[in-house]
Amino acid sequence: MNESKTSERATVEKAQGGDADAFAELVRAYQRRAVSVAYRLLNNIEDASDVAQDAFVKAFRSMGQLEDAEKFGSWLLRIVGNLSLNFRRARSLRSAVSLDGDFSSDNDAQDAASKFRLVAPDDDDTEQGHEMQGLVRDAIAKLPEKQALSLILFSVEGLPQKQVAEIVECSVELVKWNVFQARKKLRELLSGQL
């Protein structure tokens, strides 16, 4: 464990010195987790991939600002979380604007439908399992931002509470509270499925 930490530290320091290969190694090490977090917050794989890529590019450009090389993971996931939440807010705003619009023609209605597909389940969600997944994803989308992020990082990604606190930039106590509230709300929202 310590050995891998030391090795990662060395890789991060190389990347900070401008070594592109070292950064590529970091991308390979963290990409799945970065995309997973973004996907769980955004509920759309294309958006999640874009946001995660942007997060890596941003991280590469700001490597000099990372003071503790051992905290690269937390730092990266904070960027991913922030970009995802920004994207989620912008998307909600777009949905709200389209809701205000008057869908007078069929084309308008189709456009609106395609916009709502950003948060809707995939095409083949007709089977029961997929239907369930859709319900869960919709329920997560209803959670407040910090609760959703804390739940995803702690309960789903399995990160320690201390690291979640670093990523969400709050106290460990608040992480516990956010996770508890998120689970409670999900239990209510999914009461028929439990």
Partner 1 sequence: MSKEDKYNPNDPAFLASRALDESLTNEQRELLNDLNDEAESFRSVDDFVKSLRDEKIDIDWATFQQTIQDRITSEYDDAQLDRVDELVQGATELPDSWNEKRFTQGVLQKIESTSQVRHPKLRWMKAMMPLAAAAAIALAVTMMPWQDSTNAPTSIVSIGPSIHLGHRLPLKNAVALVSFRHEPIAADETASRSRVSFVSIGSGSMAQSQASAPPL
User: What residue ranges bind partner 1 (CB under 8 A)?
Assistant: 20, 23-24, 27-28, 31-32, 35-36, 39-40, 43, 45, 49, 52-54, 56-57, 60-61, 122, 132-137, 140, 151-152, 155-156, 180, 183-184, 186-187, 190, 193-194
Nearest to 153 by CA among 139, 142, 141, 168: 168
Select 110 or 193, whichever has its Cβ closest to partner 1: 193
Alpha-carbon distance values, 179 to 27, 136, 144, 184 (Å):
28, 16, 11, 8
Answer for the pair 186, 140: CB distance below 8 angstroms, yes or no: yes
User: Rounded to an integer, what distance in angstroms lies between the CA atom of residue 98 and that of residue 147?
Assistant: 27
Answer for the pair 112, 94: CB distance below 8 angstroms, yes or no: no
Select 98 or 133, whichever has its Cβ closest to partner 1: 133
Helix, strand, coil tally for the chain in percent (to 5): 80, 0, 20
Select 28 or 100, whichever has its Cβ closest to partner 1: 28
Select 9 or 134, whichever has its Cβ closest to partner 1: 134
* Nearest approach, Cβ of residue 128 and partner 1 (Å): 13
